[in-house]
C-alpha cells in the first residue's frame, strides 16, 4: 500500500516515553464513549502514554471503561460538565504532555467553550481539536488568531465546517478544495475535512484520501480519527504528515472492518479493533 507518509518502526532499545504522551480532554453526561474511543485509538496507534482529563464526578465511569489509559479528574461547572476552572490542573501537567486532543464528548456548555479557549490561547503544545472543541469555535473564530500553538489540527465534518464558514452544504461541496485551503492558510493550521475522500491541507499542500467506506459513517468514527492523529503527532510527525497518515490508516482499518462485518454493521470500536491490520498492511507497503 502506498502511504502518504512512511510509518516509523520502533527500535529494540526503547521505552514508553519514546512514543509520546497524549492528553485527551472531554467527556460529559451521556457522552463518555466519545472520549473513551479517542483515548483508546491513541494508545492503539502507538502512543506511549495517554491521560484522559474528565469531569470529576464521572471519573468512576472512565476508570471502569479505560484500562490502560490514565485519568485526571477535572473541576466541573455543574455535575458532569467541565469548568474553565479545570485549566489550573491542566496547566499543572502541560510540561509533560506532547499533544493535546480537545473536544470528544465535551458538550456545548459555555463553561466547556471557555476551557477550550483558555487551553488554546495559553498552552504552546501541538493540539488536535474535534467535535465539541470545534463547536467552541463556531461564532468565535477570532480565538484561532489568539492561539499560542503553531501546531494545530482541526478535524470538522461537513456540517461543522459549514457552521464555521457560515456557508451551506451546497456551497461547501461546490468549492471544498478551495475553501479548505483558504481556511487553513488564513488561520495557520492543518485542516481535515472529513467525509468521502477526506481532504487534508496546511493551506499550501492538499491531500485527498482514497481509503474508507460508507460503513464508517457511524457515531464515534471521528473520535477514533482524532486519537490516531494525536498519537502520530506524539510520536514525532508534524501536524500535516500526521493528519495525512491518520486519515489513510483510519480508512484502511474501516475497510477491513467493513469486509468482515459489512458496511451496515461497522461501529467505531471496530475501527480501533482493525487498526493493527491497517498498520501491518502499511508496514508491508
Q: What is the pLDDT of residues 129-153, one digit of tens each?
A: 999 999 999 999 999 999 999 999 9
What digits encode the pLDDT tens for the residues 79-117? Answer: 999 999 999 999 999 999 999 999 999 999 999 999 999
Average pLDDT, whole number, for the chain? 96
The DSSP output letter for 275 is: H
* CA distance linking residue 30 with residue 17, whole number of Å: 33
> Which of helix, strand or coil describes residue 32?
helix
Instruction: Let me know: does 66 contact 94? Beta carbons within 8 Å.
Output: no
C-alpha distance from residue 173 to each of 85, 158, 162, 165, 197 (Å): 39, 9, 10, 12, 12
For the record, the C-alpha cell of 213 comes out as 467506506
Q: What percent of the chain has pLDDT over 70?
A: 99
Half-sphere exposure of 103 (CA within 13 A, CB side): 26
- Residue 39, pLDDT > 90, answer yes
Q: Which domains does the chain have, with CATH numbers?
A: 18-284 (3.40.1190.20)
Predicted local confidence at residue 1, as pLDDT: 67
C-alpha distance from residue 115 to each of 78, 87, 137 (Å): 14, 7, 12
| Neighbour tally for 194: CB within 10 Å | 23
What digits encode the pLDDT tens for the residues 242-252? Answer: 999 999 999 99
Q: Round to the nearest angstrom and report the end-to-end CA distance of the chain.
A: 4
Predicted local confidence at residue 5, as pLDDT: 82
Q: Is the pTM of this model over 0.85?
A: yes
* CA distance linking residue 22 with residue 20, whole number of Å: 6
Predicted local confidence at residue 10, as pLDDT: 86
Amino acid at each position: 500500500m502506498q502511504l502518504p507518509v512512511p510509518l516509523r518502526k520502533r527500535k529494540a532499545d526503547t521505552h514508553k516515553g519514546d512514543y509520546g504522551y497524549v492528553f485527551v480532554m472531554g467527556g460529559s453526561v451521556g457522552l463518555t464513549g466519545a472520549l473513551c474511543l479517542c483515548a483508546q485509538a491513541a494508545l492503539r496507534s502507538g502512543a506511549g502514554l495517554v491521560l484522559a482529563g474528565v469531569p470529576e464526578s464521572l471519573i468512576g465511569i472512565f476508570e471502569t471503561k479505560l484500562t490502560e489509559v490514565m485519568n485526571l479528574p477535572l473541576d466541573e461547572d455543574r455535575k458532569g460538565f467541565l469548568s474553565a476552572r479545570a485549566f489550573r490542573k491542566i496547566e499543572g501537567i502541560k510540561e509533560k504532555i506532547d499533544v493535546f486532543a480537545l473536544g470528544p464528548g465535551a458538550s456545548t456548555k459555555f463553561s466547556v467553550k471557555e476551557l477550550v479557549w483558555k487551553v488554546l490561547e495559553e498552552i504552546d503544545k501541538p493540539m488536535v481539536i474535534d467535535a465539541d472543541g470545534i463547536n467552541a469555535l463556531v461564532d468565535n473564530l477570532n480565538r484561532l488568531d489568539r492561539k499560542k500553538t503553531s501546531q494545530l489540527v482541526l478535524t470538522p465534518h461537513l456540517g461543522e465546517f459549514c457552521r464555521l464558514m457560515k456557508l451551506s452544504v451546497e456551497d461547501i461541496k461546490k468549492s471544498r478544495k478551495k475553501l479548505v485551503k483558504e481556511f487553513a492558510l488564513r488561520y495557520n493550521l492543518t485542516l481535515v475535512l472529513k467525509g468521502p475522500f477526506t481532504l487534508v491541507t496546511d493551506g499550501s499542500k492538499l491531500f485527498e484520501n482514497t481509503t474508507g467506506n460508507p460503513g464508517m459513517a457511524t457515531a464515534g468514527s471521528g473520535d477514533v480519527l482524532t486519537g490516531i492523529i494525536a498519537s502520530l503527532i506524539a510520536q514525532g510527525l508534524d501536524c500535516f504528515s500526521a493528519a495525512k497518515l491518520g486519515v489513510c490508516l483510519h480508512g484502511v482499518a474501516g475497510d477491513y472492518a467493513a469486509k468482515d462485518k459489512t458496511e451496515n454493521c461497522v461501529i467505531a470500536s471496530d475501527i480501533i479493533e482493525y487498526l493493527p491490520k491497517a498498520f501491518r498492511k502499511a508496514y508491508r507497503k
